[in-house]
Structure 1
Amino acid sequence: MPTEMTIFNETILPGESKTINMQIAKLHSMTDIEIPIIVERSKVAGPTVLLSAGLHGDEINGTEIVRQIIVNKINKPKSGTVICMPIINIFGFLNQTREFPDGRDLNRVFPGSKEGSLASRFAYYILKEIIPHVDYAIDFHAGGAQRFNAPQIRIVPNNEELKKLSDVFGAPFTLYSNNISGSFRSSCDEMGAKMLLFEGGKSIDINEAVIVEALEGTKRFLSHLKMLQKKHVCSQPNDTIYIKKSDWIRAPFSGMFHGLKTIGSYVEKGELIATISDPFGKVEHKVKAPHKGYLINVNDAPVIYQGDAIFHISTILEE
């Protein structure tokens, strides 16, 4: 660990705590917008871990996870450095929308550009100022729209170090998922920062059960790196279920949606998992599982359209 760490021209020495306000752009009203970067450094050398959320502004559950990490002082390391960014896309958070004001998905514009769109500029400065310091990262997300994700870690396949870290985190599920071009995870990987992507819950929602899974997993992760203070007690990890492949089940009809299975359930082929009805009491369609597997995402929307994703189901598990 270097003696000094400099982020946006602010120097943080070992043993120091500092909140750095990232300022890239103003609101159209000329109001300043600041994104707090909370840095906690131990006097003892060790790795640097980034805990981030709010890459999509409507994924509030991730922001609450990082907030609770800070409130409970889990981010005060026994060794090394912990950097917390509870909200990356502050513009989306203010408007409770996924995208930046320029209409772009921040998680598709990395590595960004100093002279590009607003989202692209944010991506550029995050990679330039923060990621060069980072050894490990956990980026917290939630399901889009009304689709509720079971607590899960996503890692690239064939990476033994990430698999070990996923075992340590101990989420109920781990999905093998290739990096997507333009994503934060992909750029971190290219720069040598080892990232676990956490998914849990849904947008515009706070779910306590998902938060508990994330907090416990984060403590286990930091403990594994010898960074967790002794006062924080770690629970035993789940025996995480590794999913090699999965499919979406899509609505065969439009109508009022009644999901009959809870998130994380294991279902058999042909098992009734939902009904879709008209609002007038005339028609009710049954939706059955096309094959056996775990339901790792369930659509909570009360009204759906034909073709909407209603369940995400595992197809191939790792033995």
Structure 2
Amino acid sequence: MPNKGVISPGLKPQHESLSVQTSPSVRPDTLPPMTLSPSMTGNPGQPSIELPKIQVLEEKDYIRMPWKNGLGETHQIAISPPSTDFETEEFVWRLALSEVRDSCSFSVFPGYDIALFLLPDAHPTVAHTRRNSLTNRVALHHNDQATPVPLRPLIPYTYSGEWPTTCRIRSGPIRHLTFIANRDRAHVTANLETICLHGLSDDGECNHHPHGTGHEKKDSNGVGVANPTSKMLLGNFTIVYVVSGGIKVAVEGTLEPQIVLTGQTLICERQDESSPTDFAMTPVASDGTPFEKDEHGPDGKTDHQDATVLIIQVNLLRPERRASIVDVTSPRPRGRAGSIIVFDDQPFQPFSQTSSTNLLHDNSTVGSPFATSPPGDSAINANIPLKHWDSARHYRPPVFSARFKNESDVPPAIVRDRLAIEEFPVGAISTAWINIAKQGLSEWLRIPVIVARGKEDGPVVGITAVVHGNELNGVPCIHRVISDIDVSQLRGTVVAVPCVNVPGYLRYSREFSDGKDLNRLFPGQPEGTSSQIYAFNIMDKVVNHFNFLIDLHTASFGRVNSYYVRSDMNDPMAAAMAKLQQPQIILHNSGQDGALRSAAMNRGVKAITVEIGNPQLFQNQYVQWSYLGVMRILAWLNMFSMDPENTVHGGPPPSTILCSKGFWIYTKTGGVLEVYPNVNTVVRKGDLIARIKNIFGNIVEEIYAPSSGVTIGRSSNPVAMAGDRVLHLGVIKKEGEVLAKEAKENY
């Protein structure tokens, strides 16, 4: 494993032998003296040492973990401690075999180091090809850098688990071993070795001739016999993965040698106090039988093959050598200088001559009004209302499971001129940058698109976010939806666009780069202003491929929203989608307003707009609500299965209020604005809902509700100009009321 320093992505991978120290290792001369068992020493009072534990794992013993994104699958070979859930629990080391079908992103493992071993092709014609003769087919990119790190078969490569890493595959699927180790708890060495029948010659190559150079072992007839490759084990764990061929392994202190064939793994576990252990490996035939003598084929060569094995040794670090862990709950000295002052760390004292003198003893001056008692009572003990704040809460970081789940990560993006769903692989999640319009450098403005294409045909559901550049809650909603989709169980296609208005997003602005509101210009024009052309290409290149659309928004700067849905409730499909979101409020809006939803509906795409909270921040509760709503829609369309408790097939829940129309209330004058009702609050006609004061605090306008309704949204900006928004009021639908065919709002 690499040490903690930064390794350039251009670093040449370690060749042949990997021996990289992650923390100070435990030298053999620092180990405690070996303690012998009573049977060895004759002293019954001494504790015994357990013999090495040997385990051989066949491929059927590996735990298969298909990736939800359809790009590959992982076979977990072993993990320490055993039965650890690596997605939720800390572990010491983990060995896995991955089969990757296409370019992908690897998981991030903070605090761990990762070693990759690219395996040769499994095709019979190349299965045993020498490792240096194979061409490079795969490369890694660390930290989004353009410089690739080529991977070559059977040459170990290590990198830091903190680095975001993408794997780009040039041709065909690949297979690789991944060894992950906790750098604070283990020192690891790994090397690839060839196990020869008669050992190595003086030049380091396998000696294939039965009589060779005279250094190999021979039987009584002078015929060469197996010459084992011996090693001395010092680590707590020795892991041997057989890449090709087969070996017989004899471990000192064990009764029976073990046969390990291609694709199998041997794990030898030793106690910390154990003395060095001899470990011998000898090649065997493909059926596991030993080579007792050399038999020559027609070409004069022996019929056996040498074995190629990967040997990993793990030495656990002693606790005293690990970094100390600070208990955040333990008391700390109270240092005031430069520290955060907690209000209630000093009890409140009623004001008095004594207390004032004590408090100001060092800083009081002659003539200070606090030097003597005030006139009248000798002490003042007024009933002043006080707020005693709770102590600061201890931070609890999120569970660290998500960082270990590369099966949900999306692969690196390709560039396309338009969305063509048939070009993306079935049963996989893909990403792309779609060219939309040329900018001032004559380079393309591109939007990001995620395509989750199921194995079965079905509808195409589009999910869009950030049509307004500062409305961001839709971004984590899309991330959660994509990470929760298992494409092997998906019917149809989900196309997610996490950022529609790229220029506005980069400027933290609601509007497009020309200052226009993009969501009032759809379907746009092929010739016109930059925002009109951009809107036209969004429709033409992306949205036209949808059957359904869920457009995710929030309030804009200076406003806050309830969790509500805008939908044409006269359209049965759109109405069902709105109800499945289970919002606080559903607002009937038929469109005709230049919004993306309206343009999509006019082209036969069933669409709703979901308003999920406030601008330029992530609100976990709102994001969770919208995520569940999207998953309910996918389940309702029979595209994906979810927990039945979260699926609604009937009308809206009792807490959802349906509004037949909505409108904004505006100010008539400017000043300091105070708005009183919170969002999702029912108000009555004539209720005082806001006041405007001048800068001196005098009331200059009072605003009353012109009708009864529910607060959909409201202003959060106290600085108001004449004609600014105050409150978005929804008129609650009455029983028996027929919804208007055209229902608009006074944006």
Same fold, TM-score > 0.5, yes or no? yes
Query: Which letter maps to 1:309?
Result: R
Query: Are positions 1:257 and 2:666 aligned together?
Result: no
CA shift, 1:286, in A, is 4.1
Judging by fraction of residues, say which structure has more helix: 1
Change beyond 3 A, Cα 1:127–1:250: closer
Distance in 1 separating the partners of 2:709 and 2:612? 19
Distance in 1 separating the partners of 2:490 and 2:560? 35
CA shift, 1:159, in A, is 1.3
Query: Which letter maps to 1:247?
Result: F
Query: Which letter maps to 1:69?
Result: V
CA shift, 1:316, in A, is 4.2
Query: Which letter maps to 2:603?
Result: M
Asked if the contact 1:266/1:294 (under 8 Å) is kept, the reply is yes
Where 1:164 maps in the other structure, the secondary structure is helix
Q: TM-score, normalised by structure 2?
A: 0.39
CA shift, 1:30, in A, is 5.8
Query: Which letter maps to 2:724?
Result: D
Aligned match of 2:425 in 2, 7, 13?
A: 13
Asked if the contact 2:549/2:597 (under 8 Å) is kept, the reply is no
Distance in 2 separating the partners of 1:227 and 1:8? 20
Q: Highest relative contact order (Cα 8 Å, sep 6+), 1 or 2?
A: 1
Query: Are positions 1:51 and 2:463 aligned together?
Result: yes
- For 1:286-301, what aligned pairs fall within 5 Å after superposition? 286-301=702-717
Distance in 1 separating the partners of 2:707 and 2:420? 55
Asked if the contact 2:436/2:538 (under 8 Å) is kept, the reply is no
Distance in 2 separating the partners of 1:210 and 1:93? 20
CA shift, 1:291, in A, is 2.7
Query: Are positions 1:83 and 2:495 aligned together?
Result: yes
- After TM superposition, the structure 1 stretch with the greater mean CA deviation from structure 2, 88-97 or 28-37, is 28-37
Give 1:3's aligned residue.
none
- After TM superposition, the structure 1 stretch with the greater mean CA deviation from structure 2, 42-51 or 184-193, is 184-193
Aligned match of 2:722 in 306, 309, 315?
A: 306
Query: Which letter maps to 1:73?
Result: D
Q: Which runs of 5+ in 1 are unaligned?
A: 1-5
Distance in 1 separating the partners of 2:595 and 2:496? 19
- After TM superposition, the structure 1 stretch with the greater mean CA deviation from structure 2, 277-286 or 305-314, is 277-286
Distance in 1 separating the partners of 2:494 and 2:634? 9
Distance in 2 separating the partners of 1:269 and 1:316? 12
Give 1:42's aligned residue.
454
Query: Which letter maps to 2:631?
Result: K
1:150-205 deviation per Cα after TM superposition (whole angstroms, max 9, x unaligned): 11111124212211222222211111112125332222112211001112323333
Distance in 2 separating the partners of 1:108 and 1:310? 21
Aligned match of 1:270 in 676, 686, 691?
A: 686
Aligned match of 2:610 in 198, 204, 207?
A: 198
Task: Give the number of aligned pairs.
Answer: 313
Asked if the contact 2:436/2:444 (under 8 Å) is kept, the reply is no
Query: Which letter maps to 2:658?
Result: Y
- After TM superposition, the structure 1 stretch with the greater mean CA deviation from structure 2, 274-283 or 95-104, is 274-283
Aligned match of 1:222 in 634, 639, 651?
A: 634
Give 2:590's aligned residue.
178
Change beyond 3 A, Cα 1:27–1:126: closer
1:73-123 deviation per Cα after TM superposition (whole angstroms, max 9, x unaligned): 348562111000010110110011122223333223333334443323322
CA shift, 1:221, in A, is 1.2
- After TM superposition, the structure 1 stretch with the greater mean CA deviation from structure 2, 133-142 or 271-280, is 271-280
Query: Which letter maps to 1:221?
Result: I
CA shift, 1:9, in A, is 5.8
1:247-278 deviation per Cα after TM superposition (whole angstroms, max 9, x unaligned): 32222442222222211001123333333223
Query: Which letter maps to 1:172?
Result: Q
Change beyond 3 A, Cα 1:73–1:90: same
Distance in 1 separating the partners of 2:495 and 2:530? 23
Give 2:484's aligned residue.
73
Distance in 2 separating the partners of 1:269 and 1:87? 40
- For 1:126-205, what aligned pairs fall within 5 Å after superposition? 126-205=538-617
Asked if the contact 1:54/1:86 (under 8 Å) is kept, the reply is yes
Query: Which letter maps to 1:298?
Result: R
Percentage identity across paired residues of the two chains: 30
Q: TM-score, normalised by structure 1?
A: 0.87
Change beyond 3 A, Cα 1:112–1:293: closer
1:288-312 deviation per Cα after TM superposition (whole angstroms, max 9, x unaligned): 3333211111110021123322111
The structure having more radius of gyration, on CA atoms, is 2
CA shift, 1:219, in A, is 1.6
Distance in 2 separating the partners of 1:102 and 1:138? 26
Where 2:531 maps in the other structure, the secondary structure is helix
Query: Which letter maps to 1:255?
Result: G
Distance in 1 separating the partners of 2:698 and 2:717? 21
- After TM superposition, the structure 1 stretch with the greater mean CA deviation from structure 2, 6-15 or 121-130, is 6-15
Change beyond 3 A, Cα 1:280–1:56: same
CA shift, 1:50, in A, is 0.3
